Homo-oligomer: A and B are copies of this chain.
Amino acid sequence: MRMSNRGRLLVLSGPSGTGKSTVVRGLVQHSDRLRLSVSATTRSPRGYETEGVDYFFLAAEEFRRRIVDGEMLEYASYNGNYYGTPQDAVDAWLDEGYDVLLEIEVQGALQVKERRPDAILVFLVPPSMKEAEARLRGRGSEDDATVRARLAIAAGEIRQAIHYDYIVVNHTVEQAVEDIGAVLRAAHLSAEAMEGHLENLLAECPL
């Protein structure tokens, strides 16, 4: 098949308190052409987690081998465990024509951009920091110090957002999902992605 039928890699990041996971759910429900990438980790599965659905659970030795052999699109270590995106599953979907969504941190997103310059990086932000704070407090599970720490981390992440391709404000889930949908739709219409169609047209033309 032509490049134009290949899927696109879509990376979504955003600080906590932006409603990112709701937007991800909306995106996946919204499109039957979009697949959500499954991360790999070396941490132990929790009781409700399923291999290959929530995570690919790997031994640390195997995870390190994949890093060294360039089989991880991005990775990070956190709390003594590795987390990352195995590229074989992603590439299989892209080849089948699916767009693949990676919901990952800023560090990982910039690694992906380095390895795959055609990846589309979208950063989701709250309408205001006040709103982000209200969402964090609304969860009710975090004390004041934790909320303030999260907001400070959020500010640090927002400072990196300028390295992304697109910034989407999460005013409402519907609008954010439509915004990201427009970004993906436009990406499939780039002159590069459409080169195949142009060639087909020219092949029809008499010299």
Contacts and interface: CB of A to CB of B under 8 A. Distances in A.
Interface of A: 123, 125-126, 128-130, 151-152, 154-155, 158-159, 161-169, 178-179, 181-183, 185-187, 189-191, 194-195, 197-198, 200-202, 204-206
B191 A167 contact: yes
Number of copies: 2
Do most interface residues of chain A lie in helix, strand or loop, or is the interface mixed?
A: helix
Contacts of A183: 182, 186, 189
A189 B198 contact: no
Contacts of A162: 191, 195, 198
Contact of A205 (B151, B168, B205): B151
12 contacts: A123-B191, A130-B204, A152-B206, A155-B201, A158-B201, A165-B190, A166-B186, A166-B189, A167-B191, A167-B198, A179-B185, A182-B183
